[in-house]
Amino acid sequence: MKLFKLPDLGEGLQEAEIVEWRVAVGDHVVADQPLVAVETAKAIVDVPSPYSGRIATLFGQPGQVVHVGDPLVEFEDAGQADAGTVVGEVKAGQEVVAEAPAHVGHIPAGAKATPAVRALAHRLGVDLALVPGSGPDNLVTAADVERKAKILAELGPSEPLRGVRRAMARNMALAGAEAVPVTVTDDADIEAWPAGSDVTLRLVRALVQACLAEPSLNAWYDSHELGRRLFKKIDLGMAMDTEDGLFVPVLRDVGGRDAAELRRLLDAAKEAVRARTIPLQELRGPTITLTNFGVIAGRYATPVVLPPTVAILGAGKIRPQVVAVGGVPAVHRLLPLSLTFDHRAVTGGEASRFLAAVIADLELSA
């Protein structure tokens, strides 16, 4: 018997969710044959077999989260494997322990409650840390616990976050705990745009020009060393909304590509995200981010800047509005903009100059 464990998935990923087994107990497989499809933080990938042999045991069911080093498959009469795909040794077992949902964010500790109230909370399955106290000095009372238990019973059990949403929750918790965000907003008058202009490509071009004018926003910040790294090349993260959650594919070196190539890359990224076939390396390492939430709704926002990046530009819904043109009222199309920056690494002046450069390019006729 030989045991194969979930190998290192790279990119710092330590867990994955089983999507579908490609094999069954009793099947004979050959080395490199896909064994199981797993969903990582952003993509669905096949894990290949390191052995040739017969499947004796499959560990885990679709929907279950497994970690690097957890057993996946036990083989009978297995041949040689690529030792680089196997991490350590784990004893085989028939029982798979379901993972408890991970808490993301800050949960207050040391809730104030009497022993009787604590016993009541334990009996009703209520976490005291989640119960606001209504008694003196925020003391949690029996009524508080019973009220929370009733609410939880009406709502039913919580749904554990999986895959993309799980990764999003962790990333947002990281951003909220580490970055010092400030958002500045303004409008670009795009009345001079010709009909049929590609809004996304205009936004990308404007962002590139702004990075050239104020490069401090195309950067990473290292909170441990209190240092920053400015980039000449612009690797742009493009926030994309899907039913599964938020994806941010990265378009490499957008400043060195023409409009046709950028449109081709954008379309390819959208299709790969839709099909869940986008490689992990294309979701890593943006130097700055763009989100065009206005294609759905919303005028202004406070987009979340995710460390180590220091800035994200958001575009809202284009709207007609009365503006003063040469002292005379006129109706023009305005594009609302929201720029969030990490104030640990970027000054207000730098952010404002960046936004001014974005607006200046957007207000050109072509």
pLDDT tens by residue, 173-219: 888 888 999 999 999 999 999 999 999 999 999 999 999 999 999 99
pLDDT(330) > 80: yes
- Rounded to whole angstroms, the Cα distance separating 132 from 312 reads 35
Q: Residue 208: CB partners within 8 Å, gap ≥ 6?
A: 234, 254, 255
Q: Which amino acid appears at position 248 of this protein?
A: V
End-to-end CA distance of the chain: 67
**Helix, strand counts (H, E) of the chain:** 6, 19
- For residue 51, the model assigns a pLDDT of 86
- The pLDDT tens digits of the residues spanning 334-355 come to 999 999 999 999 999 999 999 9
Q: What percent of the chain has pLDDT over 90?
A: 52
| 98: pLDDT strictly greater than 80 | no
- The DSSP secondary-structure symbol of 233 reads S
Whether the pLDDT of residue 104 is over 50: the answer is no
Pairing relationship of beta strands 311-315 and 328-342 according to DSSP bridges: antiparallel
Mean pLDDT of the chain: 86
List every span in the chain annotated with CATH 4.10.320: 115-155
Determine contact, residues 341/305, Cβ cutoff 8 Å: yes
108 pLDDT above the threshold of 80 = no
Residue ranges matching CATH 2.40.50.100 in the chain: 2-85
324 pLDDT higher than 90: yes
Token digits for 84? 């680089």
pLDDT surpassing 80 at residue 101 = no
- List the alpha helices (DSSP H) in 101-244: 115-124, 142-155, 163-178, 199-213
Asked whether the predicted pLDDT for residue 109 surpasses 80, the reply is no
Domain 115-155 has CATH 4.10.320: yes
Answer whether residue 96 shows pLDDT above 50: no
pTM listed for this prediction: 0.68
Every domain of the chain with CATH number 3.30.559.10 lies at 180-362
Do residues 73 and 57 lie in contact, with contact meaning Cβ atoms separated by under 8 Å? yes
178 phi and psi angles, rounded to 5 deg = -110, -50
- For residue 340, give every residue at least 6 positions away whose Cβ sits within 8 Å of its Cβ, in sequence order, or none: 181, 182, 183, 302, 303, 304, 305, 311, 312, 314
CATH topology for the 2-85 domain: OB fold (Dihydrolipoamide Acetyltransferase, E2P) (2.40.50)
Query: From 3.30.559.10, 3.40.50.1820, 3.90.25.10, 3.40.50.2300, which CATH number describes the 180-362 domain?
Result: 3.30.559.10
36-92 per-position pLDDT tens digit: 988 876 677 888 998 899 999 999 888 888 888 899 999 987 765 544 443 333 333
Residue 334: strand, helix, or coil = strand
Tokens standing for residue 184: 């500045």
Q: Which residues fall within 8 angstroms of residue 86, CB to CB, at 6 or more apart?
A: 4, 5, 7, 50
β pairing state of 181-189 and 34-39: unpaired
* Residue 10: predicted pLDDT: 65
- The letter for the amino acid at 226 is L
pLDDT at residue 81, rounded to an integer: 55
Q: What is the mean pLDDT of residues 236-250?
A: 89
Choose among 235, 219, 218, 236: nearest CA to 227: 219
Rounded CA gap, 280 and 41, in Å?
Answer: 9
Angle made by CA atoms 189, 248, 164, in degrees to the nearest 5: 135
Q: What is the pLDDT of residues 10-45, one digit of tens each?
A: 655 678 888 899 999 999 999 889 999 888 766 778
Query: Given CA atoms 125, 128, 134, 135 in this order, what sign does their dihedral have?
Result: positive
